[in-house]
Amino acid sequence: RFDSIAMAAPDAILGLTEAFNADTRPDKMNLSVGVYKDASGVTPIMKCVKAAERKLIEDETTKGYLTIDGLPDYREAVREMVFGDQVPSERVAIVQAPGGTGALSVAGGFLARQCSGGPGGPLRIFVPTPTWANHNAIMQDAGLLVENYSYLGSDRRTLDFDAMLEDLRTKPKPGEVVLLHACCHNPTGVDPTAAQWKAIASVIAERGLLPLLDFAYQGFGDGLDQDAAGLRTILDHVDEAIVCSSYSKNFGLYSERVGAVGLVTASAEATKASLSQLKKVVRSNYSNPPRHGAAIVATVLADADLTASWKEELETMRLRITHLREQFVAGMSEQAGAPDFTFLLNQKGMFSFSGLTPMQVDELKNKYGIYIVGSGRINVAGMSEDRMDWLCSAVADVIGN
């Protein structure tokens, strides 16, 4: 029975990490997986997180199950952070989920069960080209039909906004779902401008589409508030939306699996019914979410000092990424014959599309032990200030060949 099972293809990004770990070269560098690293190459635990954990260990009295929708204080903190006073609380259903991935999966399950597609067909969700590869897998598994809309231009550096808008105007039918990266688009780092967000929001509203915002990198682009601007614009234009948020990156809680679904409805009654259906999806899947990570976020955000410390630490991470980007661009400009990389300065967040070809990516791995995803996506946070000259000359070398 199990003898005939075929091997699944390894995950393109996590597979690279396995190869990286097995690489014995001491000067190897991992620019593939989307994890923040500090100057010493470590993914640190934030001080505010450690402080919250100490408090939790002292105060925690039970390991009993959470309710299906999660920790109340966490859900309230998420509501405030994502929706603030923009949407009245009775119009928002929040469900804690295991990471942004879990949130997307719960949202997909809810949509597949509760929202109909065309006659006889599954509901369609439109994702940008390119997008985080897991979007396709998660939404397909949930039972949605995944379609694409244009996003990155043929220069592979900028948004092809006309093509994007044209696709949103013509491809999805009213009621169908459009997935948008709220900020720090993964894998390209290319985000719409404020004016472009307005035009996107108008088309979504005019056409009666349902926006699903993937909000995994708040605080990594231009700042906590600034990174919510696109989401705010969308919410200004529609009565119904879904926001899947993740606190893996901005709290550094990757392995604790902290995320949430925030579902905006047009009425208090719709909120209650939708929440009950979201809970059904959770119940038959993992029953109820893990406590620890959500309790950390709730503890930090309930304490003014810890919140201030969190914002400061997050800002330090954001500025480090910006600085590395600038340093890389400057470093490349000093390499004789290397192309201009200034376009990287317009890209936001941890990732950038470098324009490196699969062959160049391969050569960087084989010759230098520098690991980059085949698409040329670079995790800027994996760079090292001290080794920037080495990195730039390696990149120049493979481009020159």
Select the span of 96-104, 163-171, 261-269, 368-376 touching ligand PMP (CB under 6 A): 96-104
CB-wise, 74 or 368, nearer to ligand PMP?
A: 74
The SS3 call for residue 85 is coil
Q: Taking CB under 6 A as the rule, does residue 245 contact ligand PMP?
A: no
Which of 36, 69, 100, 183: binder of ligand PMP (CB under 6 A)?
A: 100
Residue from 16, 31, 34, 310 in contact with ligand PMP (CB under 6 A) = 34
DSSP, residue by residue, 130-163: S--HHHHHHHHHHTPEEEEEE-B-TTSSSB-HHH
Task: Respond yes or no: is residue 197 known to be catalytic.
Answer: no
Q: What is the 3-state secondary structure (H, E, C) of 308-349?
A: HHHHHHHHHHHHHHHHHHHHHHHHHHCCCCCCCCHHHHHCCC
The only residue of 20, 132, 220, 371 in contact with ligand PMP, by rule CB under 6 A: 132
CB nearer to ligand PMP: pick between 188 and 327: 188
- Indicate which residue of 214, 227, 310, 365 is catalytic: 214
From 211, 219, 230, 259, residue interacting with ligand PMP (rule: CB under 6 A): 259
Place of tokens 């993914």: 43
Does 101 engage in binding with ligand PMP (CB under 6 A)? yes
Which residues, other chains included, contact 141 with Cβ-Cβ below 8 Å and sequence gap of 6+?
A: 105, 108
DSSP H helix total and E strand total for the chain: 13, 11
Residue nearest to ligand PMP (CB): 99
d(C-alpha 301, C-alpha 296), whole Å: 9
CA angle at 138 for the pair 207 and 2, rounded to the nearest 5°? 150
Q: How far is the CB of 259 from ligand PMP (least distance, A)?
A: 5
**Minimum distance from residue 350 beta carbon to ligand PMP (Å):** 8
CB neighbours of residue 223 within 10 Å: 15
47 is annotated as an active-site residue: no
Q: Does 186 participate in binding ligand PMP (rule CB under 6 A)?
A: yes
Question: Shortest Cβ distance from residue 106 to ligand PMP (Å)?
Answer: 12
Q: Give the shortest CB-185-to-ligand PMP separation in angstroms.
A: 8
32, 371 contact by CB (below 8 A) = yes
Binding mask 201-240 toward ligand PMP (x if CB under 6 A, else -) reads -------------x-x------------------------
Which amino acid belongs to residue 191? D
CA distance 128 to 353: 15
Whether residue 214 lies in the annotated active site: yes
CA 344 to chain centre: 19
Please give the positions annotated as active site.
132, 214, 249
Which residues of the chain form contacts with ligand PMP (CB under 6 A)? 34, 99-101, 132, 181, 186, 214, 216, 246, 248, 259
